[in-house]
Every structure is written in C-alpha cells, then in structure tokens.
Chains A and B, each alone.
Chain A
Amino acid sequence: DAKTTQPTSMDCAEGRAANLPCNHSTISGNEYVYWYRQIHSQGPQYIIHGLKNNETNEMASLIITEDRKSSTLILPHATLRDTAVYYCIVRSSRGNDYKLSFGAGTTVTVRA
C-alpha cells in the first residue's frame, strides 16, 4: 500500500472549517484514500473514502486532486468534539486485503 504524509498537528477554531491535507504521491490506480479519526481512548472511527471523485457525507468532504497524489479532508464546521487524531490511509481495492496501515496521523485540536 502507498504511504501517506500528514502534518503532525494543527489547530482549528470552533465553527470554522478544518482542512486536513494528506500527501500520497505514490498512490496507484486501484488504491482508495480513506480517512479515519480516533478520539482519545476510543477506537478509530471511519469518516469517508474515495477513489477519484470528490466525496461528501454527513461528517466531512474529501477532495482528491486530479493526479490523485494528494487529498484534503474538510470538516465544514469544526466543533470541540472533532478534536482527535485524523488518519489518512491508502488501501488497495484488490483481493481480500482488509488491513489498514495507519501512520502517525494529524492531531487536530479544535479551540473555542
């Protein structure tokens, strides 16, 4: 699976949009981009995933560049409960490999 690069940490003001970048320059054609987050002392929570097109759900939006080498997770109106470690993961869609390779993630702190 392709490796990802994320900033170590970032702050965000409550009520503002949080834009979390992720670099995955070695991504291959059959690999999806997944985002998970982990709130302190809880299991990781799925947020969103995409292949080529931008995706949106009730939690967030995922913007993938045309060359697919990077993506941005957008939390449209951050709240204090969005404070968490956010993981960007690239995973192949082939075969029966359900393994996720987590990196260090981005620690997001939402401030009042």
Chain B
Amino acid sequence: KAGVTQTPRYLIKTRGQQVTLSCSPISGHRSVSWYQQTPGQGLQFLFEYFSETQRNKGNFPGRFSGRQFSNSRSEMNVSTLELGDSALYLCASSLAAPNTGELFFGEGSRLTVL
C-alpha cells in the first residue's frame, strides 16, 4: 500500500512569491490534514479537509489556503511568501472513520524562502 506522497520534496522561493504544495493521501483515505513544522514553533496544525470541505482550521493568516479534490488529493497554497514561512510542510491522511483512527504522515515538503 503506497503511503502519503508529497510533492515537491524541496523548493526555494523568494519573498513575495507564492507556492503550491501537493499531497496524495493513502488510497481510501478521505481526510487530509496539513501541518507546518519550524524549529521555533514545532508542529502546528494548518487545516483539515474531508470530502472537498475544510472542516478544521488552525491559527494561520489568510495567505495560507488549501483545497481538496474529488479524488481526495489536496493542495495547499501560500501567497505573498515571507521569510518566516520557511518550514517543513507535512500532510497527513486518515480514514476519517472511526474518529479514533491514526494519522499517516508524508515525508513533507521543505520550503525555503529567501
């Protein structure tokens, strides 16, 4: 069974640009969550999607957005990049039912903003 796939694995952008990251969940998983990991703040929840609808959202500015497609694949977008957006962005998928199901994480997309 293939795991969670995130692309690209590494990317470099400059301030003011935008970036789109992609996540393909495990087959059959319908819930996709996104997390940001930085040395200073640790792992922080961005948002979670289920059946193309955002169900939960963390405390991030509106520059951070996402969406989910009918095949459960998800993308997140960060506009007007800032230096502080440099981080490892992690995607996790879940069966979404039962609610006690564990999350399966991808290896992340490492974004560097110059």
Footprint of B on A, CB under 8 Å? 32, 34, 36, 41-46, 49, 51, 87, 93-104
Contacts and interface: CB of A to CB of B under 8 A. Distances in A.
B87 to A, nearest CB: 13
Nearest to B3: A43
Interface string B1-41: 00010000000000000000000000000010101000000
Contacts of B48: 98-99
| Residues of B in contact with A, size category | 20 to 34
Nearest to A92: B99
16 contacts: A36-B103, A42-B108, A43-B106, A43-B107, A44-B43, A45-B105, A46-B103, A46-B104, A96-B99, A98-B31, A98-B55, A99-B33, A99-B48, A99-B58, A102-B35, A102-B43
A34 B102 contact: yes
A93 B56 contact: no
B103 A100 contact: yes
A17 B42 CA distance: 27
Contact of A98 (B103, B105, B106, B107): B103
Interface of B: 4, 31, 33, 35, 42-45, 48, 50, 55-56, 58, 90, 92, 94, 96, 99-100, 102-108
A36 B63 CA distance: 29
B4 A43 contact: yes
A105 to B, nearest CB: 8
Given A49-B102, A99-B33, A101-B45, A43 B50 contact: no
